[in-house]
Amino acid sequence: MNLAWSRRGIYILVGLVTVGVLFISLFFALQKPVSVIIDGKLIKSSVLFTGTVGDVLAKNHIKLGQMDKVEPGIDAGVKKNMKIIVTRAFKVKVLADGQVKTIYTTPVSVKEAVELAGFEMGEKDMIKTLATAKVRPNQEIELIRVTEQELTIEEPLPFGVERVDDPTLERGLTKTVKAGKNGVARNKVRITFYNGQEGKREVIGTEVLVPPENKILAMGSITAVSRGGERMNFREARYMQATAYTYTGYRTATGLNPAVGMVAVDPRVIPLGTRLYVEGYGYARAADTGGAVKGDKIDLFMEEYKQCINWGRRVVKVYILE
């Protein structure tokens, strides 16, 4: 009798162990391994039977913010070897219409971020921000309002200049044969405003109301003249304002002692050493400079102070000789 119960006990024990092993095996077999990726970190986990993504997050103490995003959704059933991705929302600033709004969002397009901030983007509006496909944490986005206005404006139409040769005038000199006259144009203008400030203006249509009249300018072509019965060849002639000076106690800019026939010039206009003929003065050479001799001005050396006073200040024709 005791032997029979011992054998029976052994059978019962073996049965219980077998059931326990099967239960444990079934327990592990029913667990579904999953991976959770959050903030760039990988978390390995598992869930029994028909658990959801929400169950996995709760098991791993992962709380979601209002704007956080999880894929698949928290109500999705867990599948074996499923990958769950949690994307945390971050702060983005949007500036528009004089307002600054802060939103919290996961990576979205810049345009979507503007809409999330409650701003409606017009067809011509522009966005100023980083050149990124999706917004980044702490990114600033500025919405620039673009508006256009078209106006009709009457404006002067500038005249041109026609140049003709004049064989009676020295080369370098000009004479106005006919004065020019501006015309009048009616322009259709498109003005572009950026955030209410004018940024661009372009003419999109023109109607000529009064055509302009071109100025006709005679250009001298003579390169030789006769003075005192002597033929004088020159490169060009020009009208210059002439004054006179006498001894100062200093040498000229070329290192020579001043003498009649030496004149002070602006070297940017007439290079030092250039041979000249000055009407009312005679042949000369550019040999000196002066603080007040700038541009089309020339200062003539004379022996006496009285001669300088008598000369005064006058406009003369100056020939730049070959």
The 3-state secondary structure of the chain reads: CHHHHHHHHHHHHHHHHHHHHHHHHHHHHHEEEEEEEECCEEEEEEEECCCEHHHHHHHCCCCCCCCCEEECCCCCECCCCEEEEEECCEEEEEEECCEEEEEEECCCCHHHHHHHCCCCCCCCCEEECCCCCCCCCCEEEEEECEEEEEEEEEEEECCCEEEEEEEEEECCCEEEEECCECEEEEEEEEEEEECCEEEEEEEEEEEEEECCECEEEEEEEECEEEECCEEEEEEEEEEEEEEEECCCCCCCCCCCCCCCCEEECCCCCCCCCCEEEECCCEEEEEEECCCCCCCCEEEEECCCHHHHHHHCCEEEEEEEEC
- In a domain, residue 26? The reply is no
- Is the domain of 213 the same as that of 235? no
- In a domain, residue 10? The reply is no
- Is the domain of 62 the same as that of 101? no
pLDDT at residue 32 tops 70: no
- Is the domain of 153 the same as that of 208? yes
- Is the domain of 36 the same as that of 122? no
Task: Give CA angle at 93 (89, 97), nearest 5°.
Answer: 140
- Is the domain of 69 the same as that of 118? no
Using CA atoms, how far apart are residues 293 and 300, in angstroms rounded to an integer?
11
- Is the domain of 152 the same as that of 140? no
- In a domain, residue 8? The reply is no
pLDDT at residue 29 tops 90: no
Q: What pTM was estimated for this model as a whole? A: 0.55
Of the residues 62, 87, 112, the one at which a domain ends: 87
Of the residues 199, 218, 237, the one at which a domain ends: 218
Q: Is the dihedral of CA 74, 76, 78, 83 positive or negative?
A: negative
82-87 sheet: strands from edge to edge? 41-48, 31-38, 82-87, 69-71
Please state, as a whole number, how many other Cβ atoms lie within 10 Å of the Cβ of residue 244.
22
Mean pLDDT across the chain: 88
pLDDT confidence of 290, banded at 50, 70, 90? very high
- Is the domain of 211 the same as that of 274? no
- Is the domain of 281 the same as that of 269? yes
Can you give the CATH number for the domain in which 185 is found? 2.20.230.10
pLDDT of residue 24: 44
Can you give the CATH number for the domain in which 303 is found? 2.40.40.10
pLDDT at residue 23 tops 50: no
- In a domain, residue 315? The reply is yes
pLDDT of residue 2: 53
pLDDT of residue 101: 96
Can you give the CATH number for the domain in which 125 is found? 3.10.20.30
For 314, residues 6+ apart whose C-beta sits below 8 A from its C-beta are 241, 242, 280
- In a domain, residue 9? The reply is no
Can you give the CATH number for the domain in which 71 is found? 3.10.20.90
- In a domain, residue 132? The reply is yes
- In a domain, residue 242? The reply is yes
pLDDT confidence of 76, banded at 50, 70, 90? confident
- Is the domain of 235 the same as that of 211? no
Q: For residues 35-47, give the mean pLDDT.
A: 75
Q: Which residue has the higher pLDDT, 50 or 302?
A: 302
For strand 183-194 and strand 197-210, is the pairing parallel, antiparallel, or unpaired?
A: antiparallel
pLDDT confidence of 61, banded at 50, 70, 90? confident
- Is the domain of 83 the same as that of 94? no
pLDDT of residue 241: 98
Of the residues 218, 236, 264, the one at which a domain ends: 218
Q: Which residue has the higher pLDDT, 10 or 194?
A: 194
Express as a percent the part of the chain with pLDDT over 90: 69
Q: Longest C-alpha distance within the chain, in Å? A: 168
- Is the domain of 229 the same as that of 317? yes
- In a domain, residue 2? The reply is no
pLDDT confidence of 7, banded at 50, 70, 90? low
- Is the domain of 135 the same as that of 118? yes
pLDDT of residue 120: 93
Q: How many domains does the chain have?
A: 4
- Domain residues for the domain of 184 are 148-218
